């Protein structure tokens, strides 16, 4: 969901009668299979760092970094043949072990990063339309001056059923709010003073990457994310099993009620929840289902699984979304407090979503991973500088 394109969505209508922007990507319904229409890249996938014949890294090679969990290397079935078109085909993936943040990055942690670096997030800067592809006819469009303000996208709290516009689709229930950003998640008059342990939101893909680099980590690949979410359970729907509400309990923060009109908040939260509020999965990771969408490193294409390498897949070399082919998309995983069983159902292990790089949305955050080789390099550089 992009603060850059949502402004345009309210002021531009193209000759073909449809708004072609990714501003509302994180809550869009199933994508169509683009196997036939997707342009073939020069090389189908990224080169892989290890051959399949090399042994997987399974044992934790050193002490667990604070706030992280070791995910032993192994093999798992990624995706499903019983979900939305872009969730299949189910296929076997082998991954080397890695560490993953136990929790989503919080406002408290992100504030330390900003204080140390002076970083300004995407939603704190004027729109730049960085996610439009270079060869797109949309590259030269201009944003109306009164909409060309720093801000981000939030739920339109005044939306009613009669307000739905079929031409806009999901655009109907979102609002671009000038002044909304990670410090002001609901708009300029809101604050994070009582949300320091909530996941940071309104962060774009470059914002998440910048934080990861500062922390000496990186974003997880989509395969790493799903592998970690599944934990020790094989081919289950949710991180805890196949029943959404075992014993009648809510185990994640999602939307309950009439979407997007009334959130009954049966799980206790209308928006984000403090990280770690709900039980962890079988390997000790929290909020792998619901709370906020989490950025992954990969570009998005709907049929990548049909050609994904078996060992340590790193995603396609370029983005392609048949719904919005002019926009560069990255993968998001895990669902959010906005996900409903009436709409995106994005809180399942196999569920995929996509958002463009210059995104700032009130239900999108991230967590980081660290690999043994990254840690070794960090230690070596530290020793050299001493």
Peptide bond into 89 cis (omega under 30): yes
Q: Average pLDDT of 47-66?
A: 77
Convert the pLDDT of each residue in 1-34 to its tens digit.
Answer: 444 444 444 333 332 222 223 333 433 333 333 3
Q: Average pLDDT of 67-78?
A: 98
In this structure, what DSSP letter does residue 253 have? Answer: B
Q: What is the pLDDT of residue 382?
A: 73
Residue 279 pLDDT exceeds 90:
yes
* Cα 51 from Cα 300, distance rounded (Å): 24
Distances (CA, A) of 252 to 273, 333, 339: 9, 14, 11
Q: What are phi and psi of 56, to 5 degrees?
A: -70, 145
Residue 359 pLDDT exceeds 50:
yes
Which residues, in sequence order, are bridge partners of residue 329?
356
* Cα 260 from Cα 27, distance rounded (Å): 11
Residue 243 pLDDT exceeds 80:
yes
* Cα 102 from Cα 25, distance rounded (Å): 26
Residue 162 pLDDT exceeds 90:
no
Residues 6+ apart with CB under 8 A from 6: 21, 23, 24, 153, 171, 174, 176
Structure tokens at 142: 């201009």
Lowest mean pLDDT among 81-95, 159-173, 240-254, 261-275: 159-173
Domains present along the chain, CATH in parentheses = 1-40+62-386 (3.90.1580.10)
How far is C-alpha 361 from the chain's CA centre? Answer: 10
Which residues, in sequence order, are bridge partners of residue 68?
101
Q: What is the pLDDT of residue 90?
A: 98
Q: What is the pLDDT of residue 9?
A: 43
């Amino acid at each position: 969901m992009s603060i850059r394109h949502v402004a345009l969505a309210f002021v531009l209508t193209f000759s073909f009668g449809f708004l072609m922007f990714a501003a509302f990507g994180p809550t869009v319904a199933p994508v169509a299979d683009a196997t036939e229409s997707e342009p073939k890249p020069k090389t189908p996938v990224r080169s892989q760092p290890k051959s399949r014949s090399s042994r997987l890294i399974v044992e934790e090679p050193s002490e667990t970094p604070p706030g992280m969990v070791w995910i032993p290397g192994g093999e798992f079935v990624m995706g499903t043949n019983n979900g939305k078109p872009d969730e299949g085909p189910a296929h076997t993936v082998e991954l080397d072990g890695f560490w993953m943040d136990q929790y989503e990055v919080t406002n408290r942690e992100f504030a330390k990063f900003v204080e140390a670096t002076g970083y300004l997030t995407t939603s704190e800067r004027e729109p730049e339309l960085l996610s439009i592809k270079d060869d797109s006819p949309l590259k030269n469009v201009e944003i109306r001056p009164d909409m060309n303000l720093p801000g981000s996208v939030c739920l339109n709290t005044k939306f009613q059923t009669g307000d739905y516009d079929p031409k806009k689709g999901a655009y109907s229930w979102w609002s671009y709010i000038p002044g909304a950003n990670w410090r002001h998640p609901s708009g300029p008059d809101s604050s994070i003073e009582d949300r320091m342990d909530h996941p940071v939101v309104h962060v774009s893909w470059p914002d998440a990457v910048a934080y990861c680099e500062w922390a000496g980590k990186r974003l997880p690949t989509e395969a790493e994310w799903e592998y970690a979410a599944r934990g020790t359970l094989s081919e289950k729907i949710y991180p805890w099993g196949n029943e959404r509400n075992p014993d009648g309990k809510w185990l994640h923060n999602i939307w309950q009620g009439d979407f997007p009109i009334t959130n009954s908040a049966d799980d206790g939260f209308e928006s984000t929840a403090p990280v770690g509020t709900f039980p962890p999965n079988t390997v000790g990771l929290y909020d792998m289902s619901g709370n906020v969408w989490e950025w992954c490193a990969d570009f998005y294409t709907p049929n990548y699984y049909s050609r994904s390498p078996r060992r340590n897949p790193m995603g396609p070399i370029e983005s392609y979304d048949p719904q919005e082919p002019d926009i560069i998309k990255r993968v998001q995983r895990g669902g959010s407090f906005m996900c409903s069983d009436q709409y995106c159902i994005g809180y399942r292990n196999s569920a995929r979503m996509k958002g463009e790089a210059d995104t700032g949305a009130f239900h999108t955050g991230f967590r980081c991973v660290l690999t043994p080789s990254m840690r070794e390099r960090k230690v070596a550089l530290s020793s050299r500088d001493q």
